[in-house]
């Protein structure tokens, strides 16, 4: 499913403009190969694509190691250390099988909702009960479950980047820039699938001593400034 979705989202028929210019896509390939080696998942078929989209600040990894970064995230990353932090996070979502778990959670929620709809079908207030149950499931279960996944990927992704030879201290600056970029645009944390950037920064600092141990034992990679793709300006 991951491979099929990757083709649908980045292949020729998707309309996505994949950048292959080594000035911009080269660092993505280098960082990706280094993290893939550190992840040690020989059954994964790794791919790394840079998509030309100066408005979408995003990156993701599908099951099986299919990774995409959007050009708008480059000003947040700034350099290859920052790129490794974000890529490590996305890779760990795939390795920890968060996509599978979220699918199971959503299917379970849908089954409960369907059962509730049948059970209250003869009640004049039935539609309101079902609507309330849906909101309760989203806020009480699915969103916190997603935030738990994000925190797990933050921690393990930080360690993965450090093991691959990238300075984990870059994580704090990455999330500071993300917090500044998203200021005034995010919903309250309890209504979001992602933790608040300030909370992520606090967690990164808490995990940093162990990450630095991994980094000290690694074959360190030189940190390189990222060239900003056309239409994307560093802030």
With respect to residue 26, please indicate whether it lies within any of the assigned structural domains: yes
Is residue 155, in this structure, part of any structural domain at all? yes
In a domain, 233, yes or no: no
Residue 96 has which token pair? 């920890």
Residue 52 domain boundaries: 2-216
Give the contacts of 111 (CB within 8 A, at least 6 positions apart): none
Q: Annotated active-site positions, please?
A: 90
**pLDDT digits 0-9 by tens, 131-141:** 443 444 434 43
Residue 51 pLDDT > 60:
yes
Residue 196: alpha-carbon gap to chain centroid: 14
Confidence of residue 3 (pLDDT cuts 50, 70, 90): confident
228, part of any domain: no
Is 117 exposed, middle or buried, given 0-12, 13-18 or 19+ CB atoms closer than 10 A? middle
Mean pLDDT of all residues in 48-67: 90
pTM, 2 dp? 0.78
Q: Kindly report the CA angle at 70 between 2 and 15, in degrees rounded to 5?
A: 70
225 belongs to a structural domain: no
Going from the C-alpha of 42 to that of each of 35, 39, 49, the distances in angstroms are: 12, 9, 20
Number of domains the chain is built from = 1
């Amino acid at each position: 499913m991951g491979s099929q979705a990757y083709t649908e989202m980045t292949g020729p028929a998707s309309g996505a403009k994949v950048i292959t210019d080594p000035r911009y896509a080269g660092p993505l390939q280098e960082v990706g190969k280094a993290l893939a080696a550190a992840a040690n998942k020989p059954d994964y078929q790794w791919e790394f694509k840079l998509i030309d989209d100066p408005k979408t600040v995003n990156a993701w990894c599908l099951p099986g190691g299919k990774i995409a970064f959007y050009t708008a995230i480059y000003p947040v990353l700034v350099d290859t250390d920052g790129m490794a932090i974000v890529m490590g996070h996305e890779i760990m979502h795939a390795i920890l099988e968060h996509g599978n778990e979220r699918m199971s959670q959503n299917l379970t929620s849908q089954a409960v909702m369907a059962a509730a709809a049948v059970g209250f079908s003869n009640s004049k207030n039935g539609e309101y009960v079902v609507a309330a149950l849906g909101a309760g499931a989203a806020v009480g279960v699915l969103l916190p479950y997603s935030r738990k996944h994000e925190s797990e990927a933050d921690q393990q992704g930080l360690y993965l980047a450090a093991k691959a030879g990238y300075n984990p201290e870059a994580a704090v600056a990455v999330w500071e820039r993300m917090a500044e970029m998203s200021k005034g645009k995010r919903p309250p944390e309890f209504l979001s699938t992602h933790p608040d950037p300030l909370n992520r920064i606090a967690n990164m600092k808490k995990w940093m001593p162990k990450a630095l141990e991994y980094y000290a034992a690694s074959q360190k990679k030189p940190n390189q400034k990222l060239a900003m793709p056309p239409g994307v300006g560093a802030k």
